[in-house]
Structure 1
Amino acid sequence: MRGSLGTGVAVVARAAGALVLNKLFATYAPAGGLTLLAQFQNLMALLTTLSNDGVQVGLVKYLAPLQPGSPRYRVWLGAAAGLNGAALLAGAAVLASQGLLGWGWSSLAAFVVGIALLTGQGLLGAALLAAGRLRAYISLSVAVALLGTGAAAVALLRHLPLNLVLLAYLLAQGLTLLPALVLAARAGVLRHLRLAGPVSRLAVRRLSQFLLMAVSTLLFGKAVDYVLRSYLLANFGPARTDLWQTVAKLSDNYTMVFAAVMSSVFYPRLAALAGQPRAARGYLLGVLGLLAPVLALGLVLIFACRNWLLPLLFAPHLLGAREFLGPQLLGDWAKFLSWIFIFQLTARARTGPYVAVQAASAAVFAAMLAVLLPRFGLEGAVLAHAGRYWLLLLACAGFQLRRKNEPLSGMKNEE
């Protein structure tokens, strides 16, 4: 609870920025603008997932016990920088070859530059988090929210073309690399670093375990979302798809809050307890027992306030989205609780089980979409979402119960 309060400022800033951004697009963008914003953010995530959900997550684990500026610290940071660069080049190559944006080369280059800046900022933010510089990490989160939302607001109110609005949103966030460099230098994170030096194969190999986990998130999460949104746009049109996107965006807002708290408070602590199975299990179950009723109460309140909340946060013409809200909220509760269980796979670098879980979850989701979309239309998307995560939660709970009966010595040997 104390750690959660420490991240409150950053979480509020990011959530407020997202709410304002959604309101602006729902009000001032053309029909389907909210869905196009989500598709652009999804594409940003496709190019940053390998770094943020892979390399940076592993970096926090391995830098946390080290002194900033020490030789081993520099080895891990250098390996992370190299892997981030490789991931960025691979993403840019796929983007250019597939033409996912459908823009000209100048806009495409600006997009890649923005992603590169965000990747660098994410690397420095992970180092600050590992060093326990939570205040600096929070400052960066606030800056990202303010700059990105502010740039998009100015561009929308000046009635610029939508592609320029989206690029302004991305590049403004990328400019936070500059304060990140200043904060990292003050924290000693950049001490004794050299631009060129040997890269540790051991560090690359261990960070690559987390990179493989991120690949599964990319293929079985972000890519699935991108394809689904493209399908809905093509079959239901931008205006109708905006109704589904409204509840998805509302979900994204509180999911961002949950993910920010868990990534900055729960995951580092769980990673630190990776070698103490009994303590890690007790910590995980304690967090689960706290969050399950709190999350349920919060989601019930959102549902009860839906008739005035949706027009307030988005626009009156999107009130029809309330028909999709119930299944979305049910699925989100199960999703959050299942994430708590899955975090332990990341903390223990269990690459194989993590990838298997992601693949199985995506396969179930795809199968449900294939059955439910033709029968229920847009509502089939939220019904498939709910079914997917309730099955995942049941599977995670069953696995945890089985592990509870295993001898702790076996668990230690597994580590």
Structure 2
Amino acid sequence: MPTPVIQPEPRAAVLGRFLRGSAGSAVAVGARTGGALLLNKLLAVYGGAGGLTLLAHFQNLMALFTTLPNDGVHVGAVKYLAPLQAGSGRYRVWLGAGLVLNGGAVLVGAALLLLLPGPLVSVFGAGEGWVGLFLLGLLLLVGHAFVVTVLLAAGRLRAYVGLTVLLSALGPAAVGTVLYLGGSVATALLAYLLAQGLTLLPAAGVAARAGLLPALRGPVSGVALRGLGRFLLMALSVLVFSKAVDFSLRELLIRQFGLAATDLWQAVAKLSDNYTMVFSALMSSVYYPRLAALSGRPRERARFVRAVLALLAPVLAAGLGLLWLLRGWLLPLLFEPRFAAAGFLLAPQLLADWLKLLTWILLFLLTAQARVGRYVLVQGASAVVLGGLLVLLLPHYGLLGAPLAQAVRYGLLLGWCLWYFRQDIRAL
């Protein structure tokens, strides 16, 4: 009996699925953005001198312990869980490996915090009780993120949106309550973490009712641990070749041009960070899970990637172009009137971001296919190219050389991606 031929979805259906998911995720992203703005306002108004600085330091401390689980283990879990039937043997294997690696990451973080408390938490005046509650909150928050990952892998976007809205509301509410009652900023920030971590309870309830958290049996699979461990290497490469490079670039600009001039670049970079965060959240919650689910169907995956590229290339160009037209009004509104002088940096920054966001759409293929070596190599080569471009452009163009270097960097990277993934995009 001949095998039936599965017809791929029409392009309109592919785009419809993507847009419906994006609309739902936009609610979650909006809630996160609103929660962050409210939190900043609370600490600025009621946190006293240094309130915002303490908030930034606390969030950096949280990121130190959650980046590898979130950008490593959870990304890998989506890839391996998305194509599987919940409750199957293979599903349990990957779920168990994810839990073990998350637990290991939390234990390493706890050991680091207990061995080196001074450099990490001394600014909060924290005692042993504070540190213990911080570790509890960290464990709960990592657990919440893992359960949300399971929901995303199963395509439960509505549950993801609801949980994200809840998490975004509880954090500022906890901070506001503690500050209103006269508590310290350090106590308020601890309440912020614990309130977010407590969302593990409703998240686990939703996932359990959906049958996505089956009982685990037997030993942990070494194959699964190695498979998810590769994604930890990807996350580590992002930390080294992205965050460290950004920090070094800022230090370089301060040394060469001073704080006042670097402020102009920082304003443009901050604007870029805001819409990049929105794009990244949408791609991680809608695009990547679908890409992972299509890992065994190259024809449908190619149609999906082409459809998303064809949709987002003009939409992103139009949106970024609108930001450039509004630059004289937008920069003073978001920052201060003096930042209107940063307008000359915006055009190359927007071009760089357009190229970068299109590049990300293609680089998700490396993640979905777990090509760890190539992913790390691309990250490293991209950082080296940026360094070389800065050496060439900064002496000739001054501060303008920084966004110009980014634009050239991502132009070259996008060209390479289009060549490298040509078979994945053209699969018929």
TM-score above 0.5: yes
Q: How far has the Cα of 1:121 moved from its partner? A: 0.9
Assess, with a 3 A threshold, how the Cα gap between structure 1 residues 225 and 29 changes in structure 2: closer, same or farther.
Answer: farther
- C-alpha separation in 1, matches of 2:50 and 2:256: 13
User: Bigger CA drift: 129-138 or 231-240?
Assistant: 231-240
Q: Following TM superposition, by how much is the alpha carbon of 1:259 offset from its aligned partner in structure 2, in angstroms?
A: 1.5
> Map of 1:3-152 to 2, 5 A cutoff?
3-21=21-39, 41-94=59-112, 97=116, 99=119, 103=123, 104=125, 106=127, 111-151=134-174
Give, as a single letter, the amino acid of the residue that structure 2 aligns with 1:297. Answer: A
1:85-234 alignment, distance < 5 Å: 85-94=103-112, 97=116, 99=119, 103=123, 104=125, 106=127, 111-151=134-174, 167-193=190-216, 198-228=219-249
Aligned counterparts of 1:365 and 1:337: Cα–Cα separation in 2: 18
Structure 1 stretch 93-102 or stretch 81-90: which is displaced more?
A: 93-102
Q: Distance in 1 between matches of 2:386 and 2:380?
A: 10
**Aligned counterparts, 1:303-342, within 5 A:** 303-316=324-337, 318-342=339-363
5+ residue gaps, structure 1, are 409-415
1:13 shift after superposition: 1.6
Equivalent residues of 1:216, 1:358 under 8 A apart: yes
Moved more, 139-148 or 304-313: 304-313
Q: Compared with structure 1, are the counterparts of its residues 278 and 182 closer, same or farther at alpha carbon in structure 2 (3 Å cutoff)?
A: closer
SS in 2 for 1:16: helix
Query: What's the CA shift for 1:166?
Result: 5.1
Distance verdict in 2 for CA 1:356–1:67, change over 3 Å = same
SS in 2 for 1:349: coil
User: 2 CA distance for matches of 1:29 and 1:331?
Assistant: 37
Q: For the Cα contact (< 8 Å) 1:31–1:238, is it kept in 2?
A: no
Percent of aligned pairs sharing the same letter: 59
- How far residue 304 of structure 1 moved from its aligned partner, in angstroms, is 1.7
Query: Which residue type is aligned with residue 22 of structure 2?
Result: S
Instruction: State the 1:187 CA deviation.
Output: 2.0
Contact 1:19 1:313 in 2 (8 A): no
Q: Which amino acid aligns with 2:166?
A: A
> Which residue is equivalent to 2:8?
none
In structure 2, the partner of 1:412 is none
Q: In the alignment, is the contact (CA less than 8 A) between 1:311 and 1:318 conserved in 2?
A: yes
> What TM-score, normalized to structure 1?
0.81
Contact 1:369 1:381 survives alignment (8 Å): yes
Alignment match, 2:373? 352
Match of 1:280 in 2: 301
**Which residue type is aligned with residue 28 of structure 2?**
A
Q: Which amino acid letter does the alignment assign opposite residue 139 of structure 2?
A: A
> 1:270 — aligned with what?
291
Q: For residue 407 of structure 2, what is the aligned residue in structure 1?
A: 386
Alpha-carbon separation, structure 1, partners of 2:107 and 2:239? 16
Unmatched segments (≥5 aa) in structure 2: 1-18
CA contact (8 A) 2:231 2:372 kept: yes
For residues 62-118 of structure 1, what are the alpha-carbon distances to aligned partners after superposition, in whole Å with 9 as ceiling and x for unaligned? 222333334432222111011112223334555654935653553655554443332
- Does the 8 Å CA contact 1:35/1:242 hold for their aligned counterparts? no
Cα 1:99/1:285, change in 2 over 3 Å: same
CA contact (8 A) 2:305 2:425 kept: no
Please identify, of 232-241 and 282-291, the stretch whose mean Cα deviation from structure 2 is larger. Answer: 232-241
Letter matched to residue 249 of structure 1:
K
Q: Rate the CA distance shift 1:400–1:262 in 2: closer, same or farther, 3 A.
A: same
Helix, strand or coil at the partner of 1:7: helix
Q: Give 3-state SS (helix, strand or coil) of 1:99's partner.
A: helix
Hey, what's the Cα distance between the residues in 2 that align with 1:257 and 1:215?
Answer: 22
TM-score, normalised by the number of residues in structure 2: 0.79
Instruction: Give the stretch that moved more between structures: 352-361 or 26-35.
Output: 26-35
Partner of 2:10: none
Separation in 2, partners of 1:119, 1:75: 19
CA distance in 1 between partners of 2:266 and 2:50 (Å): 9
Query: Residue in 1 aligned with 2:311?
Result: 290
